[in-house]
Homo-oligomer: A and B are copies of this chain.
């Protein structure tokens, strides 16, 4: 990747928040959404950071994301809640939903919250990490617009529905699994397309079901392959049940494409679970047991030339580095941000 400049996380966050506010988003919500965009890039998840920011703005300009929406709890029973996202920014509703799940888990040991009428809400660990920051195991699920074929099928009808689970680990930063049910996330294919790179053969197929190295062919009508074949399809199916069927959100083709449908609102659905560690054991004991298991992984015989990582470790390391040195930007990133800066009469504070 050819990086030509960089920007500090704080500056980029303020820049993004200012544009959201210009469009009518209330300042605290603008901050939540901007932080999600920036944190993705700080963690090295380029597929879900500023790469997505221009399309969020475009959809908001078109009224497909309601800038003034006020997400609302429409029902609550015991430890479970259901939110109507009112077609506002998914980042905000997702944040509020996980906070509610955490509040429920404080009271009952476990809590859950579903969301409908939402939108693409960035990288999933943003939400599961809220639970981890509260000493809880957080689970976040979302459906997406159809990107995969079911096993035995040759047509996009199911999302690559991501799942994220964060495990609190004190000062060591959470252990984080954040994955889509496809071999790769669509964002990685989009990033390759933006940067003019080829993709490996296993990432996807063109619209005729043939393996392709051209990322644009996968974006234009092809299929992402599910991990483990029918297992990845099955997991995506279940995540659709949690995020879509149970919440009342769009289902399959009812979840509109972030990029390709510029007429309808998305109606994405999410589901959050927070599970408190405290009722099971003292947190120091939990961290100690986690350390013991991590040690078993780290001291295992390694494949020569490779290294064994803990889920989320690579991103946690990148985060530390970028918090200090800023987020590197490609020429394409800068071009997209400059365009928005001009339109919204802002400075782009490059380092």
Contact B237 A175 (CB under 8 A): yes
Contact bitstring A268-311, B, C-beta under 8 A = 1, else 0: 00000101111111000010011011001100111100111111
Question: What residues of B have a CB within 8 angstroms of the CB of A137 in the complex?
Answer: 241-242, 246
> Is A343 positioned at the interface, with any CB of B under 8 Å from its CB?
no
Which of A149, A235, A278, A297: most chain B Cβ within 10 A? Answer: A297
The answer to whether residues A79 and B78 also contact, given A246-B286, A248-B281, A303-B209 and a CB cut-off of 8 A, is: yes
Q: From B165, B233, B277, give the contact of A246 (CB < 8 A).
A: B277
Q: State whether B293 touches A80 (Cβ < 8 A).
A: no
Q: Does A334 contact B (CB under 8 A)?
A: no
Query: Given that A238-B177, A276-B80 are contacting pairs, would A152 and B209 also be in contact in the complex, using a CB cutoff of 8 Å?
Result: no
| A21 close to chain B: CB less than 8 A | no
For residue A307, give the distance in angstroms from its CB to the closest CB of chain B: 5
Asked if A183 is an interface residue, CB under 8 A from chain B, the answer is yes
* A209→B303 CA distance, assembly (Å): 9
CB neighbours (8 Å) of A111 from chain B are 110
Q: Are B251 and A289 within 8 A (Cβ)? A: yes
Q: Are A273 and B110 in contact (CB under 8 A)?
A: yes
A286 and B245 form a contact (CB under 8 A): yes
Q: Which residue of B lies closest to A287 (CB)?
A: B245
> Quick one: given A177-B234, A237-B175, A279-B75, are A155 and B300 in contact (CB under 8 Å)?
yes
Residues of B within 8 A of A109 (CB): 77-80, 112
Most buried by B among A149, A179, A228, A235: A228
**Cβ-defined contact, B177 with A247, below 8 A:** no
- In contact, B231 and A179 (Cβ under 8 angstroms): yes
Cα(A235)–Cα(B163), bound, Å: 10
Contacts A110-B80, A150-B297, A153-B303; A241 near B175 (Cβ below 8 A): yes
Say whether A110 contacts B79, CB under 8 Å: yes
CB distance from A98 to the nearest CB of B (A): 14
Q: Does A82 contact B (CB under 8 A)?
A: yes
Q: Does A227 contact B (CB under 8 A)?
A: yes
A231 and B227 form a contact (CB under 8 A): yes
A293 touches B251 (CB 8 A): yes
Contact call B253/A152, Cβ cutoff below 8 A: no
Measured in the bound complex, the distance between the Cα atoms of B154 and A234 in whole Å is 28
Mark contacts of A162-190 with chain B using CB atoms, 8 A cut-off: 1 yes-contact digit, 0 otherwise. Answer: 00010100000001010100010000000
